[in-house]
Amino acid sequence: MTTTEEIKGEVSSFYRNLIGTVASNLDGIDVNIVRKGKQLAPDAAESLVKHVLDAKTDNALKGIDINKAPGLDGFNSLFFIKAWAIVKADIYEAVKDFFRPGVMLRQCLQTVSYSILIDGLPTTLIAAKKGLRQGDPMSPYLFALGMEYLSRCLATLAQNPEFLIILDAKELI
C-alpha cells in the first residue's frame, strides 16, 4: 500500500469487517447464569413497557433550554414551543412509536455510523451493526446489565470447589 486511496480502502475494509457486520450469535452468554439470582417481578417488568403519556412529553419539552436542539434537525425547543399547536400530534406519535418495546433499542443500534479520517479526509460512512456510539443514553443500562451478568458468573464460579479465590496477591510472592 503506497497511495492514500489504498490506505483508505484497507482501513475502511478493516473497520467495516469489525463494526459493520452483525454478530451471528452470542456464544458467551449462558442462559442458566442469566436466570440465577433476582429477577424483576411481573408487575415491575410490565411497568418498563408502559405507554408514554402526552403529559410526560409536554414536561420533557418544557425541561429543555429554549436554545437547545433536542434532535439532529437543528430545531431548538423554542421552535417546538411556538409551533406546538401544529406539531404536537406528530411529536406525541413519534415519541410513542420510539418507546414501543424493541423500537428504542433498535433505533439506538441501527442509527450509528462512522467515518474515519485519513490525511484529514473522511472515508465513506460505515454503518455499525453492533455497539453503541459514545454518549448513547442506552450505555449505562447496557453496562449495568453486563455487570450484573459478570456478578452472576463470579457467584457461580465461587461455588465451584476447584476455584481458588486469592484474597491477597502478596501471598503468591
89/67 Cα distance (integer angstroms): 22
Report the interhelical angle of 84-98 vs 54-62 (nearest 10°). 110
Closest listed residue to residue 114, CA positions, set 127, 99, 96 = 127
What mean pLDDT is predicted for residues 59-66? 89
29/54 Cα distance (integer angstroms): 38
Percent of the chain with pLDDT over 90: 11
107/24 Cα distance (integer angstroms): 19
pTM of the entire structure?
0.48
Closest listed residue to residue 91, CA positions, set 115, 116, 64 = 64
Name the band, by pLDDT with cuts 50, 70 and 90, for residue 173: low
Percent of the chain with pLDDT over 70: 82
Model confidence at 27: pLDDT above 90: no
CB 116 within 8 A of CB 122: yes
Q: What angle do CA 31, 32, 36 make, to 5 degrees?
A: 115
Nine-digit cell string for 53:
403519556
pLDDT per residue as tens digits for the range 109-164: 667 778 888 888 888 888 877 766 667 777 787 788 888 888 888 888 888 888 76
Q: Outline where DSSP puts E strands in the chain.
A: 113-114, 117-118, 121-122, 126-127
